[in-house]
Amino acid sequence: MKKTLLPILLIVGVAAGASAQNKTVPGKTDIIQQEYLQFEQVPNSLYILPTPPEYNSVQFLNDQYQYYWGRGMRKGERGEKAVTDATLDGLEGMNNAFGEVFGTEITRENTPELFLLLRSIGRDAGGFAPKVAKNHYMRVRPFVFFNDTTSTPQYDDHLRSSGSYPSGHSSYGWAAALILVEINPEHQNEIIKRGYEIGESRKIVGAHFESDIQAGRVMGAATVAALHANEAFQKQLAKAKEEFARMKKAGKIKPSTAELQWK
């Protein structure tokens, strides 16, 4: 059964030191992840981001328009993808999100070093990065504001009791995309597009306003910058790059479809 990113957001606590430690995720005894940043080392979303749009503002008119646009996209292939994008955690989440555009399956068996890296940054980018602003503003989710439901109703009860601004999924997805591009720059166009779509999916399912998503991308990028100053992250990133280089040399990475379109 697939797991959601939401448990990561719920279990965030005090981090370990700068040196990474392999730890079993609570409730998921078969999944190991590393801890990179201490909570105070993650960019402060409350300090960095502007306040969310007031409900009588022009910015909120765009949030409203984007909400109804997203609701209209729920049926069909794009709507199905948005539901899948709600699940970034677990054994299949990152592969479902990025495996195709990265050029190979991102799994514990196929790419163990990359799998570990992407799982581990979820705590910092998806949990810590949006936390302070989320808890401060406790912005009402759009589906609650519009007296609606999401297309992921199994998560609605939790979403009702948590802040909407900024989007943790958007932050995590954008951070993962930036790191994947660093590892596989030849696929940068497809990877960045997918990172963008993960945020857009939060609007389609009805879990976030457009302004939540934009703020989430800012926090994702800021977290990647902070991670690059962390020695443990740098070591694991180097392992993932070496793993990718071996796979590419062995012909196990599919060519970039975006690159082919340029020719």
State pLDDT tens for residues 94-133.
999 999 999 999 999 999 999 999 999 999 999 999 999 9
Q: What pLDDT is recorded for position 2? A: 35
If one counts every other C-beta atom within 10 angstroms of the C-beta of residue 173, the result is: 33
Catalytic, out of 63, 89, 124, 212? 212
If one counts every other C-beta atom within 10 angstroms of the C-beta of residue 157, the result is: 8
How many Cα neighbours within 13 Å face the side chain of 60? 13
Catalytic, out of 119, 141, 187, 202? 202
Catalytic, out of 71, 187, 208, 217? 208
Q: Which of 59-63, 242-246, 253-257 has the lowest mean pLDDT?
A: 253-257
Q: Is 212 a known active-site residue?
A: yes
If one counts every other C-beta atom within 10 angstroms of the C-beta of residue 134, the result is: 22
Q: What is the pLDDT of residues 164-185, one digit of tens each?
A: 999 999 999 999 999 999 999 9
How does residue 15 score in pLDDT terms, banded at 50, 70 and 90? very low
How many Cα neighbours within 13 Å face the side chain of 115? 17
CA distance 114 to 55: 41
How does residue 17 score in pLDDT terms, banded at 50, 70 and 90? very low
Round the average pLDDT of the chain to a whole number and report it. Answer: 90
φ, ψ (nearest 5 deg) of residue 28: -135, 75
How does residue 232 score in pLDDT terms, banded at 50, 70 and 90? very high
Q: What pLDDT is recorded for position 193? A: 98
How does residue 92 score in pLDDT terms, banded at 50, 70 and 90? very high
Q: Is 78 a known active-site residue?
A: no
CA distance 206 to 186: 33
First to last CA, the chain: 41
Q: Is 208 a known active-site residue?
A: yes
How does residue 90 score in pLDDT terms, banded at 50, 70 and 90? confident
Catalytic, out of 123, 139, 169, 187? 169
Q: Mean pLDDT, to the nearest integer, of 122-145?
A: 98
Q: Is 148 a known active-site residue?
A: no
How does residue 8 score in pLDDT terms, banded at 50, 70 and 90? very low
CA distance 151 to 14: 33
Q: What pLDDT is recorded for position 89? A: 81
CA distance 150 to 155: 8
pLDDT cut 70: percent of the chain above it? 86
Q: Mean pLDDT, to the nearest integer, of 217-236?
A: 98
Q: What is the dihedral of CA 39, 229, 26, 24, to 10 degrees?
A: -150
